[in-house]
Structure 1
Amino acid sequence: MKPIVLLLFSFLLSQCGPTKSAQTASVPAPGGPEGLKAKVNSDVPQFTDEKRIGDIMGFLASDDLKGRDSGSEGIEKAAQYIEDFLQSHQVAPYYESYRDTLSNYKRTSYNVLGVIEGTDPVLKNEYILIGAHYDHIGIIKIENGDGIANGANDNASGTTSVMELARYFGTKRTNKRSLIFALFSAEEKGLLGSKHMAKNMKEEGLNLYSVLNFEMTGVPLRGKDYLVYITGYKKSNLAEVSNAYAKENLVGYLPTAREYNLFQRSDNYPFYQEFGIPSHTFCTFDFTNFMFYHRVGDENELMDFQHMATLVNKLIPVVEGISNAPTQVVKMN
């Protein structure tokens, strides 16, 4: 996540997966009282699991990648890993190759992006972008003998979620609209990867419908009646649409996200600026449930892989629903 003002750390210092139900029922409105258990839909695909999630995370957040700083040898390994993954699951390169070289960063850096063409002859001309940044901040000040900022939560977690969604749609081909899967570099340098991509896609005349971005999804929220929140909640009806397709109270409103202006701090924002479309970030970091933002302690051992798998599985019918609706159901407010 793009660096947040120092107020975050004072907030953190002041602070110290949902259980599957057998029923689907009416649910409280998003943003309801904390401590309320959400009724959940048990009829969800079990496509991924904690082992698959853990295997991907185990590579992306390993010491071998040295914190995935943009332009480094470590992030080069991550880029190759993501390319191989997309290719092995029938996700085609978006351009001539999977790599999109940044024009706005001094060190050679790449976005990695693939595309799955929609199955409908008309709707395939509309695109949904599903993204996450795969860079982190590299080697930083040593703490307890460790200087590698592995970036497990920020943002190997979001990257893994996008990769598993790409695997699903690459193998199942259930999308009528076309899906772009984008892994951004240089987010930590000021959203440079997504700025580069959004500008180019706008100039290319891409018919972009919406952006679903993923950021810091490695640990579950606590005491909420929803599994995940979106930034810019009130800017569109995405939460309402998502909950309808999920058949449960999946996506909620986190007031703190507005307080810290998170809508403008991740890779959804450049697309909102360029295209003026629904463009949001899905996140489960709420400033109280994870204490190692931009620190060497952001390690895999603190991640909840079962929570991550649950989130991916529950979002599959959401992405399918948005992709396959006869008309564009996600609209700006």
Structure 2
Amino acid sequence: MKKIFLLLTASCLFSCGTAKVDQETTLNPDNSAISVKGAMVEDAEMKRNNATLNNMAAKKDTKFSNAEGIRILMEFLASDNLKGRDSGSEGIEKAADFAENIFKENGIKPYFESYKDTLSNFDKTAYNIVGILEGTDADLSSEYILIGAHYDHIGEISPENGDAIANGANDNATGTSTVLELARYFGNLRSNKRSIIFALFSAEEKGLLGSEHLAKKLKDQGLNLYTMLNFEMTGVPMVGKDHLVYLTGYELSNLAEVSNTYADEKVVGFLPKAKEFNLFKRSDNYPFHTAFNVPSQTFSTFDFTNFEHYHKVGDENELMDFQHMANVVNKMIPVVEGIANAPTQEIKYK
């Protein structure tokens, strides 16, 4: 997450498994296995195919994502091999290839000529990863929903106990995994009447540069953007809340109300600290708000009490709750599906 000035103590800043994976890891399109350099790492829970997805749609069953699938994604994205995914580094290049492969294997096409879109506002070579799933409705497909998260982190920093790699598990391999899982779901089921852009941003930690670059580029192209849904730090459950995730800029729109209607429960709520520290302006939703003036907001579960390792080497996978992360994905599926298929644009700024 973009660096926040020291308004809080070190524990109050927003912005488990053992298998090792590298950049040649890919998800198979039928979800049956994970391929690692030609070897197959299989799990019964991962053996889902298109027929299963179609059954889910028929039964309105959203138990799509699971802890094991999330674990596999996270163990790659937040591994030491990626050296903290600093923008412009060899490590984030591996993460970019990994995400590109998942998009490709699940029917998400490149939005531009390739998935990698080079940033125009950063002094090193860095890429956003941008894919598109066209909508199925002749009229609504001209309206776009953008689902995003930043996949960069801060690289290597001052060592603590011999460890200098700021792996960025919570910040923001978690949001990246959420976007990849949503892309996998919709890419296989193709249940979206509106078109969906899936975007992973680089250089968020440098000042929201990746999202700023993409927002300007899409605006210049005249994209008909309906809403931007961003995911940031979703790896640990909130403490003592009556909702699963909170929404930055909660009071600015009716997105929480619309989301809860489609979820058929209170999934999205208000976090006073998010308003107090103006988190609406501190993540990748904000450049889209600025460029398009359409509802552009971030979902998160970092509540200022449940995670003490922001921008530290301690932001590791063993602190992440993979079942919670899968639950976030599963609860967001009907939300995104509802927004994508509603006959009118329901989400409005107040």
TM-score by length of 1: 0.90
Corresponding residue for residue 329 of structure 1 = 346
Tell me how far 1:9 sits from its aligned partner: 1.8
Q: Letter of the 2:189 partner, please give it.
A: K
Deviations 1:12-35, CA, capped at 9 Å, x for gaps: 49xxxxxxxxxxxxxxxxxxxxxx
Rounded Cα–Cα distance in structure 2 between residues aligned with 1:11 and 1:301 = 17
Corresponding residue for residue 147 of structure 1 = 164
Q: Secondary structure of the residue that 1:2 maps to in structure 2? A: coil
1:129 counterpart = 2:146: yes
Rounded Cα–Cα distance in structure 1 between residues aligned with 2:179 and 2:93 = 18
Instruction: List aligned pairs for 1:24-103, cutoff 5 A.
Output: 44-103=61-120
Q: Secondary structure of the residue that 2:9 maps to in structure 1? A: helix
Corresponding residue for residue 284 of structure 2 = 267
Rounded Cα–Cα distance in structure 1 between residues aligned with 2:8 and 2:95 = 29
Corresponding residue for residue 289 of structure 1 = 306
Q: Secondary structure of the residue that 1:100 maps to in structure 2? A: strand
Instruction: Verify the 8 A CA contact 2:11 2:308 in the aligned structure 1.
Output: no
1:6 counterpart = 2:3: no
Rounded Cα–Cα distance in structure 1 between residues aligned with 2:257 and 2:161 = 45
Corresponding residue for residue 17 of structure 1 = none
Instruction: Verify the 8 A CA contact 1:269 1:279 in the aligned structure 2.
Output: yes
Q: Letter of the 1:168 partner, please give it.
A: Y
Rounded Cα–Cα distance in structure 2 between residues aligned with 1:217 and 1:8 = 20
Which protein has greater RCO, CA pairs closer than 8 Å, 6+ apart? 1
Instruction: Verify the 8 A CA contact 1:115 1:178 in the aligned structure 2.
Output: yes
Tell me how far 1:11 sits from its aligned partner: 6.5
Rounded Cα–Cα distance in structure 2 between residues aligned with 1:211 and 1:236 = 12
Rounded Cα–Cα distance in structure 1 between residues aligned with 2:111 and 2:235 = 27
* CA RMSD between the two structures: 1.2
Rounded Cα–Cα distance in structure 2 between residues aligned with 1:6 and 1:48 = 36
Q: Secondary structure of the residue that 2:205 maps to in structure 1? A: helix
Corresponding residue for residue 235 of structure 1 = 252
Tell me how far 1:5 sits from its aligned partner: 1.4
Deviations 1:44-65, CA, capped at 9 Å, x for gaps: 5111100000000000000000
Instruction: Verify the 8 A CA contact 1:44 1:314 in the aligned structure 2.
Output: no
Instruction: Verify the 8 A CA contact 1:230 1:239 in the aligned structure 2.
Output: yes
Corresponding residue for residue 313 of structure 1 = 330
Instruction: List aligned pairs for 1:95-244, cutoff 5 A.
Output: 95-244=112-261
Q: Secondary structure of the residue that 2:8 maps to in structure 1? A: helix
Instruction: Verify the 8 A CA contact 2:236 2:320 in the aligned structure 1.
Output: yes
Deviations 1:139-176, CA, capped at 9 Å, x for gaps: 00100110000000000000000000000000000000
Rounded Cα–Cα distance in structure 2 between residues aligned with 1:246 and 1:44 = 12
Instruction: Verify the 8 A CA contact 1:57 1:157 in the aligned structure 2.
Output: yes
Change in CA separation of 1:65 and 1:125 when aligned onto 2, cut-off 3 Å? same
Question: When the two structures are aligned, how many residues end up with a matched partner?
Answer: 305
Instruction: Verify the 8 A CA contact 1:117 1:178 in the aligned structure 2.
Output: yes
Instruction: Verify the 8 A CA contact 1:158 1:216 in the aligned structure 2.
Output: yes
Rounded Cα–Cα distance in structure 1 between residues aligned with 2:9 and 2:166 = 17
Rounded Cα–Cα distance in structure 1 between residues aligned with 2:301 and 2:154 = 20
Structure 2 unaligned regions, length at least 5: 14-59
Rounded Cα–Cα distance in structure 2 between residues aligned with 1:260 and 1:136 = 21
Rounded Cα–Cα distance in structure 2 between residues aligned with 1:60 and 1:295 = 16
Percent identity at matched positions? Answer: 67
Tell me how far 1:7 sits from its aligned partner: 1.7
Q: Letter of the 1:90 partner, please give it.
A: G
Instruction: Verify the 8 A CA contact 2:132 2:198 in the aligned structure 1.
Output: yes
Corresponding residue for residue 38 of structure 2 = none
Structure 1 unaligned regions, length at least 5: 14-42
Corresponding residue for residue 302 of structure 1 = 319
Rounded Cα–Cα distance in structure 1 between residues aligned with 2:275 and 2:117 = 31
Instruction: Verify the 8 A CA contact 1:50 1:305 in the aligned structure 2.
Output: yes
Instruction: Verify the 8 A CA contact 1:226 1:252 in the aligned structure 2.
Output: yes
Runs of 4+ in 1 over 6 A off after TM superposition: none
